Amino acid sequence: MDMRVADAAALPLEDASADLAIAFMSLHDIDAMPVAVHEIARVLERGGRLCLAIVHPINSAGRFETEQGDAPFVIKGDYLRPFSYSDKIDRDGLSMTFHSQHRPLEAYFLALEEAGFLVETLREPGVPSHAADLERRHRWQRLPLFLHIRARIVSRGSPMDWKLDRGANGDYIARAMAQLAIPAPADRAHATSV
């Protein structure tokens, strides 16, 4: 397997050279997250997919007041304002500090939208029952720990360019546009005149 280590905001890969990209627990640690998402879009072929997992934005926005299972979760600052935070993890004698960014959900969806992605599935996992052996873990059965998204590249521009991606996927795109209340191409002249 060809393995390369590189900055996610400058991938050393050709345009449209991949059919699947995985960003596992990394986009919230990447300063130039929207640039990295554009880079992923660039290297994916049309119809290619991105699977990403991040710390859920509600998780990074606040914290539980105590370790009790029914502890209140408090957001002292702003959910909508991005900010930096660090987590120091000690394990097996090793100490690691992760420098992350809290960003609201909209920041990720805007980056995906602007890079031409259509979100297909979204999951908000908490701690599963079989792993909730400690009381403090019960708290994360009430709120999501992580956010999982699978997105498909449908265009290289804004959602208004989706009209270019018809053919076999025309119905799928039209349904998605309807769900997002984006006028279908045939209706757009009418819609923009109101």
Ligand X SMILES: C[S@@+](CC[C@H](N)C(=O)[O-])C[C@H]1O[C@@H](n2cnc3c(N)ncnc32)[C@H](O)[C@@H]1O
Residues that bind ligand X (CB under 6 A): 7-9, 24-26, 29-30, 98
Q: Tell me whether residue 25 or residue 131 sits nearer to ligand X (CB atom).
A: 25
Q: Please identify, using beta-carbon distances, which residue of 115 and 177 lies nearer to ligand X.
A: 115
In the complex, the smallest distance separating the C-beta of residue 88 from ligand X, rounded to whole angstroms, is: 13
Query: Using CB atoms, what's the residue nearest to ligand X?
Result: 8
Decide whether 148 or 163 has the Cβ nearer to ligand X. Answer: 148
Least distance from ligand X to the Cβ atom of residue 7, Å: 5
Task: Please give the full DSSP string across 69-85, using - where no structure is assigned.
Answer: TTPPEE--S-SSS-EEE
Alpha helices in the chain, H assignment, sequence order: 33-43, 57-61, 105-114, 135-138, 170-179, 188-193
CA distance 108 to 55: 12
Q: Which is nearer to ligand X, 1 or 168 (CB)?
A: 1
Q: Which residues pair with 48 in a beta bridge?
A: none
Taking the complex as a whole, how short is the minimal distance between the CB of residue 132 and ligand X, in angstroms?
A: 22
Q: What is the spatial distance between Cα 120 and Cα 114, in angstroms, rounded to a whole number? A: 16
Q: What sign for the dihedral angle of Cα 5, 7, 13, 19?
A: positive
Closest CB 22 distance from ligand X, rounded Å: 8
